[in-house]
Structure 1
Amino acid sequence: MTEGPAMPGGPPPPAGPARPARPSRRDVLRGGTGLLSGAAAATLLAGCGSGGGDGVGADGRVTVELWHGQTDTGRAAIQKLVDEFNRTHPKIRVDPGGGVLSDAMLQKVTAALASGSYPDIAYIFGSDLASIARSPKVADLTATVAHGPTPWRQFWTPAREAVTVNKRVRAAPALIDSLAVVCNKKLFARAGVPLPEAGWTWDEFTATAKKLTSHADGTFGTGWPGVGDEDTVWRLWPMIWDLGGEVIAADGHGIGFEDTGVRALETVARLAADKSVYIDPKPGSEQMYQVFLSGRMGMVVTGPWQLPDIAQAKVDYHVVPLPSYSGKAITISGPDTWTVFDNGSARVAAARTFVEWLIQPAQDVRWDIQAGSLPLSRSTQALGAWRDRTASTEGLSVFTQALETARVRPAHPAYPQISEALGQAITAVLLGRSTPAKALRGCAHEANAALLIPR
């Protein structure tokens, strides 16, 4: 028997056979904010022990342990790069066999530091780097990137900022993305609504979402994750920044969005009041994306990692930059990192050599294409392979161009607590359980308290 259409905020009907799992890039981008307990944070500060010897074999070759955190296509891509590096660097052997999936990497590395047996390189979410970098076992890469083959300034600003903590480079950029809006052309045409163009506003977004919504047909104007996790939160930061707010106030003693956050939440409240937003009740946003892929959502805010699935679902789509309040282009980027740990001078030197090689354009472009990312640097963007990829992928250039004005979440150890508090506020507004002003007051109370804790 065929199920009826889902109502706003409810679970979608079955979307047919499950597709093969893709790299969890949306998990990477939304990830981080893994809260550390007091005991776990203390182990980072202690950082005692070594990760298992100097790693130099009898033949003089240094073994480097890599925890890459990738699955499926991403794992295959990093394995090919590792194999090439090992062939071309006979004095170093990179072993990519250890670690866990990227979503659990913070907890895994924290436990490894406590036990004294930790990797040489780990894939760490950018929003977790500040917490991990409190350990004295995290290597400083400032000199490494300053003298690398690709000039540091060639890397996009979000990539540089994501790996910089207290003005020191504490990791190498691993992967970068941005957010834009993907539109279903068929639903726009059916509703008689013109496709949006760059420079549109959030008022236009909410009005468009309302026009695209049809409860009779089970279609939604847009979607938003509704579980309060980082995927819920990080979509709001461009709105707050556009209104002049900051995640953390300039003095560092409180949040910087007590007023602007209310206005951004008012936009969310309008979507909820219009019942034009599909509220995904499960972590990972998989249901929200399935609603879009099944042709029942007009607009979805997402990143370039979603484009292969959209093409596979044969959705005729259009990509447009995020709306704004000010008319200025702004988005968010979620860079992640290759973080190097100190297991002795020989292993640190070998690990630095590997990550320096990995982020060069010739390797980066292959990783970007296979893992569904954007180029880390303008040097990579200029390569013929990336230009070909852009020409063959509808809308990809919009995501890349957005990096020019993209911002990143601050590399601050209190960010996870701020995110958790804001996630609760957004969810309360989406579900109609609180007003924007009341929800933001609760968020500010919790987040400000977290910022007062000595770090």
Structure 2
Amino acid sequence: MQRRTRRRIPIVIGTALAVVGGLAGCAGSQGATELDPEADVTITWWTGQSDEAQTILEGLATEFEELHPNVTIDISPGASSTEELLQKLSAGFAGNSYPNISYAFGSWASELESSQRTLDITGAVADPEVGWDEFSEAARATVQPTGEAIIGFPALVDNISLIYNKTVFDAAGVEYPTEEWTWDDFRDAAKKLTDPANETFGYAYSVSGSEETTWQFWPHLWQNGGEILSDDRSAAAFASDEGAEALEFLRQMAVDDKSIYLDQTDTKFAQLFAADRIGMMTSGPWQLWDLNTAGTDYGVTILPGTDGDHQTVSGPDIWALFDTQDVNENHWSVELMKWLTAPEQDLRWNVAYGNLPLRTSEIDTPEFAEQVAALPGLDVMAENNENAINARPTVSGYVGLSEAIANAISQVLQGQGTPEDALKAAAEKADRSLSGD
């Protein structure tokens, strides 16, 4: 099996699209204004992929063309890397020349919608045959960034689950985690798994101040009843009693129990876990290939819960659709994405490539079972998408918000300051970012 290099939590986002907000959206001259499904049409599709992933999608595009001879798909990665697509889209918007479909990180969704170039497909996905409810709540929320227009289809879903090292558990005589675990169970196990003499830790947490630091915190916040943003999404809401309680729990583990390996790099903790030096990590499907390659004896279950709430965090990516002012192009863009994200095709795309399936109906298929055999625990992670209830915010100020709270979390876990003071200071910085200052 080829190694997957999926970026876990990209949040690169800026003001690149702000310059085009308010301009009339069009791609060149005015196109067809009355739908003719039989008319010849060319769809431009930027996939954001490379190598094997691009080859798979090119094959699927050819198949769609064979099914619909009047449709030609101009498929390409769109840019030399996925991260560069946002700037490429911005330039295209400014020059009124942009694709019908583009891969996009979910964190770009609000920026893309604010460009006034996106296509609202709310009516199209209301068709029961689309099976919109089969996508996770987080995935559906990400393609509906303001709660109004739906601007595309989910392209990739993930989540973080609890991965445990059986070798470390067995050596400490600790029973493996279960789906009924609370965070108190988790903390108790982490203490028992920690062995300073052998430099073994019960758990690991990033203190790099990156989004890795941030998004690991969101399930604790949500399960405690806290929120990231105010109801109008204009201000930070994490500096609450619920937020302080969530951070205090982690502080106690890191500072009092000394059961957490504090990772400054975002990557070393996974290497130490694979080497049987860390008992538990909360991570996603991108880790499984490495663990199997290393021969690590591991298990996977859902995150511990609070009063039965086992919420996780997800970072869905999307297929963004753009209005090119040609109703035939718009029609076939939607049809292509409906077809691509249908279970039959997703099994040959996401599942074949080693990603989680987009839809719940794919979990009980032979194709997914084959991947689970190669990557044990992938089935648990797929089912865990049901616990991906909330979506990370896609507001343009999220980068600054993430940096602010990540630094606060890192400081507290390293024994600097109290959760209340750190979160309050972080919220002030986050509010400045959210307001554009």
Tell me the TM-score normalized by structure 2. Answer: 0.88
Q: Paired residue for 1:15?
A: none
Which of these residues, 347, 350, 374, is aligned with residue 365 of structure 1?
A: 347
Q: Which amino acid aligns with 2:414?
A: L
Distance in 2 of aligned mates of 1:379 and 1:94 = 28
Is 1:136 the counterpart of 2:116? The answer is yes
Change beyond 3 A, Cα 1:302–1:48 = same
Which of these residues, 73, 92, 96, is aligned with residue 94 of structure 1?
A: 73
| Number of aligned positions between the proteins | 426
What secondary structure is seen at the aligned counterpart in 2 of 1:169? coil
**Mapping of 1:93-242 within 5 angstroms?**
93-97=72-76, 98-147=78-127, 149-164=129-144, 165-242=146-223
Distance in 1 of aligned mates of 2:434 and 2:98 = 29
Deviation at 1:240, TM superposition (A): 0.5
Task: Verify the 8 A CA contact 2:25 2:117 in the aligned structure 1.
Answer: no
Deviation at 1:368, TM superposition (A): 2.4
Is 1:43 the counterpart of 2:15? The answer is no
Deviation at 1:322, TM superposition (A): 0.7
Which of these residues, 248, 263, 277, is aligned with residue 260 of structure 2?
A: 277
Task: Verify the 8 A CA contact 1:123 1:338 in the aligned structure 2.
Answer: yes
Deviation at 1:403, TM superposition (A): 2.1
Distance in 1 of aligned mates of 2:280 and 2:50 = 28
Q: Paired residue for 2:405?
A: 422
Is 1:70 the counterpart of 2:53? The answer is no
CA displacement, residues 227-251 of structure 1 (integer Å, 9 cap, x when unaligned): 2222221111111011011111235
Task: Verify the 8 A CA contact 2:141 2:147 in the aligned structure 1.
Answer: no
Distance in 1 of aligned mates of 2:417 and 2:55 = 45
Deviation at 1:335, TM superposition (A): 1.6
Q: Which amino acid aligns with 2:309?
A: K
Distance in 2 of aligned mates of 1:344 and 1:133 = 16
What secondary structure is seen at the aligned counterpart in 2 of 1:291? helix
What secondary structure is seen at the aligned counterpart in 1 of 2:48? coil
Q: Please say which of residues 382-391 and 269-278 is displaced more in the overlay.
A: 382-391
Task: Verify the 8 A CA contact 1:22 1:72 in the aligned structure 2.
Answer: no
Q: Which amino acid aligns with 2:47?
A: H
CA displacement, residues 116-166 of structure 1 (integer Å, 9 cap, x when unaligned): 332221111222201211011111111221237332223332222221133
Q: Which amino acid aligns with 1:308?
A: W
Deviation at 1:383, TM superposition (A): 3.7
Change beyond 3 A, Cα 1:93–1:224 = farther
Gaps of 5+ in 2: 33-37
Task: Verify the 8 A CA contact 2:218 2:313 in the aligned structure 1.
Answer: yes
Q: Which amino acid aligns with 1:86?
A: E
Distance in 2 of aligned mates of 1:78 and 1:245 = 40
Q: Which amino acid aligns with 2:73?
A: V
CA displacement, residues 264-305 of structure 1 (integer Å, 9 cap, x when unaligned): 2122323332443333333xx333322222332211111123
Distance in 2 of aligned mates of 1:216 and 1:232 = 27
Task: Verify the 8 A CA contact 2:136 2:359 in the aligned structure 1.
Answer: yes
Task: Verify the 8 A CA contact 1:224 1:232 in the aligned structure 2.
Answer: yes
Task: Verify the 8 A CA contact 1:198 1:323 in the aligned structure 2.
Answer: yes
Q: CA RMSD in A?
A: 2.8
Task: Verify the 8 A CA contact 1:48 1:114 in the aligned structure 2.
Answer: no
Which of these residues, 368, 379, 384, is aligned with residue 386 of structure 1?
A: 368
Q: Which amino acid aligns with 1:365?
A: L
Task: Verify the 8 A CA contact 2:237 2:427 in the aligned structure 1.
Answer: no
Q: Paired residue for 1:248?
A: 229
Which of these residues, 303, 308, 321, is aligned with residue 322 of structure 1?
A: 303
Q: Which amino acid aligns with 2:157?
A: I
Change beyond 3 A, Cα 1:221–1:101 = farther
Change beyond 3 A, Cα 1:51–1:371 = farther
Task: Verify the 8 A CA contact 2:118 2:322 in the aligned structure 1.
Answer: yes
Q: Paired residue for 1:401?
A: 383
CA displacement, residues 297-332 of structure 1 (integer Å, 9 cap, x when unaligned): 211111123222222221111112111232322212
Q: In percent, how many aligned pairs have the same letter?
A: 36
Q: Which amino acid aligns with 1:448?
A: D
Tell me the TM-score normalized by structure 1. Answer: 0.84
Distance in 1 of aligned mates of 2:128 and 2:88 = 30
Task: Verify the 8 A CA contact 2:205 2:263 in the aligned structure 1.
Answer: yes
Q: Which amino acid aligns with 1:157?
A: E
Gaps of 5+ in 1: 1-19
Distance in 2 of aligned mates of 1:394 and 1:409 = 27
What secondary structure is seen at the aligned counterpart in 1 of 2:140? helix
Change beyond 3 A, Cα 1:124–1:91 = same
Change beyond 3 A, Cα 1:92–1:246 = same
Distance in 1 of aligned mates of 2:45 and 2:21 = 22
Task: Verify the 8 A CA contact 1:23 1:70 in the aligned structure 2.
Answer: no
